[in-house]
């Protein structure tokens, strides 16, 4: 029986005897766990170019960005003195668009048009007073808004005490302006101030309530015009004004939501773009129906006046296009008074109603 030959292990890296007698070289042994890795080759000594790269490279010299000269201390963005800009004369057309609507039902004679003009002036003073008080209340929030930060108080062009003095001057002018309007007109203007005061204090932060309060301010303007003419208000016209103003305000809220989010106006947390689109359609339909019923029951216009329903539809369609398609609507007054489609449509609208108004 052959005796088994015990194989003796060979140390690593030594040739193992081959059966033929030749020595087969063994591959180098891998480093065992815990062994130290071989040191990397030394980095080449930095030359002149390396030494330059090792320093922080300031990059190419960039000329300093020119800064715009500071605005004059008492000037607004469009050259208006700060006290006048604080009154927001760009918003005065709101009164001009609503208060004289009471004349659609007649009342031109007997000094009615003159009294409507006095009511218009009273509402301009009252609305300017509201704007001043609102800017005083929102000065810190306006500083963080991309557009409203340019207002006189938020930009620092006018001080808070000066704004309070302006408000006092407006109140002093408003009191004698109410006297020719009689108790009824004075009561309507007082209600307008009370509603807007509540809006500036608390209601502007309550979703849905905020838009109805603003629309109520427009309805009170219309009622003030009716009080000046001494004629009863047409309820279908009141409904039409309410619905159309809701369309304008909701469009503005939609623009604010898409541009600045909910940071500037807390009430925007209760809205979404889809929700606003739904209520915009609802209020638009209500405005058209109300206007149609006003023409048929209260206005006294002839059957031809029904053609103006097309103008009402076009005005609503155009405004919804500006809001939903173009992403505008942030300043509804500018849309109504500067948009070419709106202006041409208003001209046709007026031409259709002019024969009745001239009677």
Q: pLDDT tens digits, residue range 244-270?
A: 999 999 999 999 888 877 667 788 899
pLDDT digits (tens, 9 = 90+) for 133-182: 988 888 888 787 777 888 888 888 889 999 999 999 999 999 999 998 88
Q: Which three-class secondary structure state does DSSP give residue 116?
A: helix
| Measured torsion, CA atoms of residues 197, 202, 206, 212, in degrees rounded to the nearest 10 | -10
User: Residue 62: pLDDT above 50?
Assistant: no
Q: Please name every residue paired with 24 in a beta bridge, in sequence order, or none if there are none.
A: 16
What is the overall mean pLDDT for the chain? 79
pLDDT digits (tens, 9 = 90+) for 307-358: 999 999 999 999 999 999 998 888 898 888 899 999 999 999 988 887 666 5
pLDDT class of 226 with cuts at 50, 70, 90: very high
Q: Please name every residue paired with 16 in a beta bridge, in sequence order, or none if there are none.
A: 24
| Measured torsion, CA atoms of residues 307, 312, 314, 316, in degrees rounded to the nearest 10 | -160
85 Cβ contact partners less than 8 Å away, ≥ 6 residues apart: 76, 77, 78, 151, 152, 157
The CA-atom distances, in angstroms, between 48 and each of 45, 52, 53, 54, 59 are: 10, 6, 9, 10, 18
Q: Are 16 and 8 in contact (CB under 8 A)?
A: no
Q: What is the C-alpha end-to-end distance of the chain, expressed in Å? A: 142
Phi, psi of 120 (to 5 degrees): -60, -45
Percent with pLDDT over 90 in the chain: 44
pLDDT class of 207 with cuts at 50, 70, 90: very high
Q: Are 152 and 86 in contact (CB under 8 A)?
A: yes
Report d(CA 224, CA 244) in Å as an integer. 18
Report d(CA 217, CA 223) in Å as an integer. 10
- What does the DSSP 8-state code read for residue 157? S
Provide the greatest CA pair distance for the chain.
Answer: 147
Q: Which pTM value belongs to this model?
A: 0.74
| Measured torsion, CA atoms of residues 86, 92, 94, 97, in degrees rounded to the nearest 10 | 180
- List the one residue out of 268, 146, 275 whose CA is nearest residue 210: 268
Instruction: Please report the sign of the dihedral spanned by the C-alpha atoms of residue 256, residue 74, residue 85, residue 66.
Output: negative
Using CB atoms within 10 Å of the CB of residue 284, give its burial: 0 to 12 exposed, 13 to 18 middle, 19+ buried.
buried
């Amino acid at each position: 029986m052959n005796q088994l030959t015990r194989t003796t292990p060979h140390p690593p890296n030594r040739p193992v005897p081959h059966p033929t007698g030749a020595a087969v070289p063994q591959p180098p042994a891998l480093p065992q766990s815990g062994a130290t890795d071989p040191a990397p080759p030394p980095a080449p000594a930095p030359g002149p170019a390396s030494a330059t790269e090792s320093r922080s490279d300031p990059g190419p010299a960039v000329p300093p960005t020119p800064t715009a000269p500071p605005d004059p201390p008492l000037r607004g963005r469009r050259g208006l003195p700060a006290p006048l800009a604080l009154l927001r004369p760009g918003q005065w057309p709101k009164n001009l668009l609503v208060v004289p609507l009471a004349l659609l039902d007649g009342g031109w004679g007997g000094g009615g048009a003159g009294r409507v003009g006095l009511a218009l002036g009273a509402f301009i003073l009252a609305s300017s007073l509201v704007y001043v008080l609102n800017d005083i209340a929102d000065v810190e929030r306006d500083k963080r808004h991309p557009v409203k930060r340019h207002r006189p108080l938020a930009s620092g062009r006018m001080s808070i005490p000066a704004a309070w003095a302006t408000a006092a001057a407006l109140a002093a002018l408003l009191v004698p302006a109410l006297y020719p309007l009689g108790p009824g007109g004075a009561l309507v203007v007082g209600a307008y101030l009370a509603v807007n005061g509540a809006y500036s204090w608390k209601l502007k932060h309550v979703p849905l309530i905020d838009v109805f309060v603003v629309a109520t301010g427009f309805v009170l303007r219309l009622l003030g015009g009716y009080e000046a003419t001494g004629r009863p208000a047409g309820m279908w016209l009141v409904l039409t004004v309410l619905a159309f103003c809701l369309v304008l305000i909701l469009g503005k809220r939609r623009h604010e939501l898409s541009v600045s989010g909910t940071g500037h106006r807390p009430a925007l947390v209760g809205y979404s773009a889809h929700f606003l689109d739904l209520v915009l359609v609802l209020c638009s339909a209500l405005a058209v129906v109300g206007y149609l019923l006003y023409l048929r029951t209260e206005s006294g216009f002839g059957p031809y006046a029904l053609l103006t329903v097309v103008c009402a539809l076009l005005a609503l369609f155009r405004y919804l296009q500006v809001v939903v398609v173009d992403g505008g609507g942030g300043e509804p007054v500018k849309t109504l008074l500067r948009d070419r489609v709106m202006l041409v449509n208003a001209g046709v609208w007026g031409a259709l109603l002019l024969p009745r108004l001239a009677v």
